Amino acid sequence: MADTTVQRRGLMFILSSPSGAGKTTLARMLIETDNAIVMSVSATTRHPRPGETEGTDYYFVDDGRFDQMVSDGQFLEHATVFGHRYGTPAPPVREAMARGRDVLFDIDWQGAQQLKEAAREDVASVFILPPSLEELEGRLLARAQDPEDVVLRRMQKASGEMSHWPEYDYVLINEDVDRSLQAVCTILAAERMKRARQTGLAEFVKNLQTGD
């Protein structure tokens, strides 16, 4: 039987949401269920949280090192969020995409805008909304990662973050995480099938026509 595998270019797949709406949970679940996508690892100036590992969750750097990386043009995008700086190193992303792997980004709207400016044709973006503000606050309190004053700041910022939903390709209301994961997987599958991303399609069709 002939090989029906068509070579394709990897894509940058963005999940964004207000803190607590579910983007990190959905990103983790997507990585666990789809071996064709890898997680982008950001550099950050914040300290590690319990259980976080250098090089797996983040690259933990000080402000001086972060400034140098910005100056050297090493980031695809970078932003300051709640007093801490985050940035996506470009080389690992470009290497993965060149091998036909997709790269998943768990970033905010500022980072999403920068990625689109840098590589619009390679980006697909999903904005995740909570079903209600009450549910959002409950999730933030339940995860017990931040003190109450930080939770309050996150809630105050949520409205502004949600105002950016029209800038995304897809919008998803995360009422049930399993249904939301299924929707994310459907979006990703459709984006992978776009003609422009299937770089080997012309050769495949040519071989079909000639019988090779």
Half-sphere exposure of residue 50: CA atoms within 13 angstroms, side-chain side: 4
In-domain check, residue 142: yes
Q: Let me know: does 54 contact 64? Beta carbons within 8 Å.
A: no
DSSP string, 66-121: HHHHHHTT-EEEEEEETTEEEEEEHHHHHHHHHTT-EEEEE--HHHHHHHHHHHGG
- Considering only 18-22, 31-35, 182-186, 203-207, which range has the smallest mean pLDDT? 18-22
The per-residue pLDDT for 146 is 64
In-domain check, residue 63: no
In-domain check, residue 67: no
CATH of the domain at 16: 3.40.50.300
Q: Let me know: does 107 contact 88? Beta carbons within 8 Å.
A: yes
The per-residue pLDDT for 32 is 96
Write the pLDDT tens digit of every residue in 96-112: 998 889 999 988 898 89
Q: Predicted confidence band at 3 (pLDDT cuts at 50, 70, 90)?
A: low
In-domain check, residue 48: no
Range of the domain at 108: 12-40+100-210
Q: Structure pTM?
A: 0.83
Number of structural domains the chain divides into? 1
Give the full edge-to-edge strand order of the sheet including 58-60: 58-60, 42-44, 84-89, 75-81
The per-residue pLDDT for 140 is 72
Q: Let me know: does 93 contact 12? Beta carbons within 8 Å.
A: yes
In-domain check, residue 196: yes
The per-residue pLDDT for 58 is 92
In-domain check, residue 115: yes
In-domain check, residue 119: yes
Q: Predicted confidence band at 1 (pLDDT cuts at 50, 70, 90)?
A: very low
| Mean pLDDT score, 199-209 | 91
The first and second tokens of residue 196, run together, are: 């422009």
In-domain check, residue 78: no
State yes or no: pLDDT of 174 exceeds 50: yes
